[in-house]
Amino acid sequence: MIEERNNQRGRGQGRGQGRGRGRGRDRREKKDYDHSLLHVARVARVVQGGRRFSFRATVAIGDRKGKVGVGVAKGSDVSTAIGKAIHDAKKNLVIFPIKDNTIPHETEAKYESAKILIKPAKEGRGIVAGGALRVLADLGGIKNLTAKSLGSNNKINTARAMLVALSNLKAAKKKEVETATEEKPAEKPAEKPAKEAAVK
């Protein structure tokens, strides 16, 4: 009887350990986005009993394949604020085209007091930018880019302006496709008179 009980306990312990290990591996493999901390600030809220302090984190995420996002959140400690900011960034993702490891064309964008200008660069040039612009370009998978901040140096507004600029690239790509499809049917009627004249 004692031996049977020991065997049952051994089976239960083995099952529990195996399940725990497998779940941990699945969670690690599901990491889709890389993240980078842009800014952390301690903020205070005035209440009746005094002031309550908390932390505000600004985080940028990206899959290095043309998808980036920025999130801002508050928490009682830094780790909590970062976790909330990553979750917020996943709700505000921007998808943009990448051509030859750079952007297709030059664009300019503005968000509140921040204004930026981004230009495509040749192969081997690298990312010529600083602060939030460099982090977002790297997380988005851009390897060659020239960027410049023309307005405020606020990191949150600069990051938001970068997202607006990247979303403008997506809109410009759609317009090019629409204009190309509109021009193609116009070329066909012009060929018919030339063929009829050749037959006569």
Alpha-carbon distance of 129 to 144, in angstroms, equals 10
Q: What average pLDDT does the structure give for the chain? A: 80
DSSP 110-171: EETTEEEEEEE--TT--EE--THHHHHHHHHT--SEEEEE-S---HHHHHHHHHHHHHHHHH
Alpha-carbon distance of 171 to 167, in angstroms, equals 7
The amino acid at 51:
R
What was the pLDDT predicted at 71? 96
Mean pLDDT of 144-168: 93
Alpha-carbon distance of 193 to 128, in angstroms, equals 54
What was the pLDDT predicted at 36? 95
Mean pLDDT of 102-114: 93
Whether the per-residue pLDDT at 56 is higher than 90: the answer is yes
What was the pLDDT predicted at 11? 54
Q: Order across the sheet with 34-47: list the strands.
A: 34-47, 50-62, 67-75, 93-95
Name the pTM for this structure: 0.68
Alpha-carbon distance of 107 to 116, in angstroms, equals 9
Smallest CA-to-CA distance from 167 within 113, 125, 129, 116 is with 116
Q: What is the pLDDT of residues 64-107, one digit of tens each?
A: 999 999 999 999 999 999 999 999 999 999 999 998 999 999 99
> Running DSSP on this structure, what letter comes out for residue 100?
T
> Running DSSP on this structure, what letter comes out for residue 181?
H
